[in-house]
């Protein structure tokens, strides 16, 4: 027999959606926030020659700066006020989470602080975001100022104004993402990155067709890439919905003359517990030290920095160094983030507390060890899947010299965020229907009296 939640989900339709006014408000708020974000991607910082900037950017468009431009929705190539996007915030989150696992005071806040401890760590993340944003924006400002022809009046005022503008843009996006998470639908930071990718995607699809018409790329190559995109999308949907379901049993107990318990349920463990976080974290960590390198490599360098252009060239798409670093960081963050979101010891303790057990496994420590064993094997599969999805298309895209907006990283982010947002919309709609059923039952009860 279907559960109440399953019955409600089966009865969801357009009529139920039309009555969910609270959900409408959340969706409109999310759309409004995304429009504000996209408008900010077209407001350039003052004092830059746009033609010279475009020429300088083209030389680095296929490298790490191109990936930065993808995540920022084209704001980097325009050097807009949102050029840094939410990457400093993501980098700060990585650092705080790492320290929360190894630094005792923060580890205590994380495990024993409850809601107050979580708010304190979030505040530390915001402070660190400011520091990283200032550091990155200062590097960008100096790189622009030292590049001949890019800035009309390079000097102290330009550097200060650029630092303030870019840092302010990042802090505004951080605030906007938090507002979307609490008052909208979906994860705000992920939706900001999602909106940037989706906004520039049509332009680069049209570019691929244009290359086919001009003969720069054959029709067969375009067909292979289209099949690859469809195949990667199907693989992502399949893997994101895959679970390992562990059977959980609850013993029978007698109260008076009646028997209770004896039920069974399942503990679902996703193959990819970390979701879309690993490629975003890996990209952010790669962007942190290389933000300045792309612009600095085009400026007049002293002799002792002659190695910089060669190092920057190794971070181009399809190069071994880029793929090695990117893949290694994806694997690391897959395991790291999984260890944060799922605690085998805590799960085993909760099962023991409520009388549940895994068949053939003793409650307590043995259950925790078994959960850790299963989760580790699943994470190996998940890490391999994410790495392959993000790196496999890079070879074809680099070979055919097409912008990597059609690559595995962008597809993974778009598909995963879409699935997560749809799931949250369904959850809000399910909650609305459940509240409606409760109100109807109370109304019937009052009439019965």
Q: Which two tokens stand for residue 192?
A: 């900001």
Distances 449 to 113, 132, 279, 439 between C-alpha atoms, Å: 47, 64, 59, 16
pLDDT for residue 207: 77
**pLDDT tops 80 at residue 72:** no
**pLDDT tops 60 at residue 11:** no
| Angstrom distance (rounded) from CA 172 to CA 126 | 11
The 10 Å Cβ neighbour count of residue 131 is 13
The shares of helix, strand and coil residues in the chain, as percent rounded to the nearest 5, are 75, 5, 20
pLDDT digits (tens, 9 = 90+) for 252-268: 665 666 655 567 788 88
Contact 392, 404 (CB under 8 A): no
State the average pLDDT over residues 190-204: 85
User: Which range has highest mean pLDDT (279-288, 290-299, 354-363, 414-423)?
Assistant: 414-423
| Angstrom distance (rounded) from CA 279 to CA 385 | 12
Q: Residue 234: helix, strand or coil by DSSP?
A: helix
pLDDT for residue 431: 76
Q: Using 50, 70 and 90 to split pLDDT, how confident is the model at 318?
A: low
| Angstrom distance (rounded) from CA 65 to CA 57 | 8
CA nearest to 427, candidates 26, 64, 51, 155: 26
Beta strand 264-270 pairing with 243-249: antiparallel
Q: Using 50, 70 and 90 to split pLDDT, how confident is the model at 3?
A: very low
Q: Residue 229: helix, strand or coil by DSSP?
A: helix
Number of helical (H) and strand (E) elements in the chain, helices listed first? 18, 4
User: Which range has highest mean pLDDT (34-43, 218-227, 285-294, 355-364)?
Assistant: 34-43
Q: Residue 364: helix, strand or coil by DSSP?
A: coil
Distances 190 to 121, 167, 231, 417 between C-alpha atoms, Å: 20, 19, 23, 7
pLDDT for residue 288: 57
Of residues 13 and 377, more confidence is placed in 377
**Ranges assigned E (strand) in 91-184:** none
**pLDDT tops 90 at residue 377:** yes
Distances 253 to 106, 349, 350, 352, 362 between C-alpha atoms, Å: 42, 20, 18, 15, 19
pLDDT for residue 281: 80
Element (H, E) at 53: helix 50-58
pLDDT for residue 1: 39
Contact 367, 348 (CB under 8 A): yes
**260 forms bridges with which residues in the sheet?**
253
pLDDT for residue 317: 62
CA nearest to 168, candidates 360, 40, 354, 347: 40
Q: Using 50, 70 and 90 to split pLDDT, how confident is the model at 9?
A: very low
- Return mean pLDDT, the chain: 79
> 259-266: which pairs have CB atoms within 8 A and are 24 or more residues apart?
261/355, 265/356
Q: Using 50, 70 and 90 to split pLDDT, how confident is the model at 293?
A: low
Least confident of 22-31, 149-158, 280-289: 280-289
Q: Please report how the helices 114-146 and 156-183 are oriented relative to each other, as an axis angle in degrees rounded to 10.
A: 150
Q: Which two tokens stand for residue 446?
A: 């009052």
**pLDDT tops 50 at residue 324:** yes
Contact 184, 30 (CB under 8 A): yes
The 10 Å Cβ neighbour count of residue 148 is 11
Residues in the chain: 449
State the average pLDDT over residues 100-125: 81
Write the DSSP symbol of residue 250: -
**pLDDT tops 90 at residue 29:** yes
Contact 351, 330 (CB under 8 A): no
The 10 Å Cβ neighbour count of residue 122 is 12
Ramachandran assignment for 215, one of left (phi > 0), alpha (psi -120 to 50 degrees), beta (any other)? left
């Amino acid at each position: 027999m279907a559960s109440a939640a399953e019955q409600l989900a089966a009865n969801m339709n357009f009529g139920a959606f039309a009555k969910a006014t609270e959900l409408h408000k959340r969706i409109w708020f999310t759309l409004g926030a995304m429009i504000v974000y996209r408008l900010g991607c077209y407001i350039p910082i003052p004092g830059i020659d746009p033609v010279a900037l475009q020429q300088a950017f083209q030389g680095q468009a296929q490298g790490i700066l191109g990936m930065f431009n993808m995540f920022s929705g084209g704001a980097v190539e325009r050097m807009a006020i949102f050029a840094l996007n939410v990457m400093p915030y993501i980098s700060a989150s990585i650092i705080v989470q790492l320290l929360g696992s190894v630094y005792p005071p923060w580890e205590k806040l994380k495990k024993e602080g409850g809601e107050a401890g979580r708010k304190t760590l979030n505040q530390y993340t915001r402070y660190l975001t400011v520091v990283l944003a200032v550091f990155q924006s200062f590097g960008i400002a100096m790189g622009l100022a030292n590049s001949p022809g890019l800035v009309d009046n390079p000097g102290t005022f330009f550097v200060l104004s650029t630092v303030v503008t870019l840092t302010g843009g990042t802090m505004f996006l951080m605030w906007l993402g938090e507002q979307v998470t609490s008052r909208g639908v979906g994860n705000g930071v992920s939706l900001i990155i999602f909106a940037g990718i989706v906004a520039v995607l049509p332009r680069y699809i049209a570019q691929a067709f244009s290359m086919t018409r001009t003969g720069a790329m054959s029709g067969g190559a375009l067909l292979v890439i289209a099949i690859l995109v469809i195949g990667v999308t199907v693989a992502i949907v399949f893997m994101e919905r895959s679970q390992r379901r562990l059977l959980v049993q609850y013993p029978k107990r007698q109260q008076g003359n009646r028997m209770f318990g004896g039920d069974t349920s399942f503990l679902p463990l996703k193959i990819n517990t970390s979701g879309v976080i690993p490629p975003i974290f890996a990209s952010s960590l790669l962007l942190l030290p290389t933000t300045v390198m792309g612009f600095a490599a085009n400026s007049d360098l002293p002799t002792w920095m002659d190695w910089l252009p060669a190092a920057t060239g190794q971070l181009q798409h399809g190069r071994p160094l880029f793929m090695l670093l990117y893949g290694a960081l994806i694997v690391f963050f897959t395991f790291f983030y999984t260890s944060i979101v799922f605690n085998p010891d805590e799960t085993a303790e909760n099962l023991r507390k409520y009388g549940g057990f895994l068949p053939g496994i003793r409650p307590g420590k043995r259950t925790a060890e078994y959960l850790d064993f299963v989760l580790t094997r699943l994470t190996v599969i998940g890490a391999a899947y994410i790495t392959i999805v993000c790196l496999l298309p890079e070879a074809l895209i680099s070979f055919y010299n097409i912008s990597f907006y059609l690559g595995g990283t962008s597809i993974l982010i778009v598909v995963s965020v879409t699935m997560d947002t749809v799931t949250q919309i369904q959850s809000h709609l399910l909650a609305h229907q459940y509240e409606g059923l409760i109100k109807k039952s109370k109304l019937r009860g009052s009439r019965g009296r």
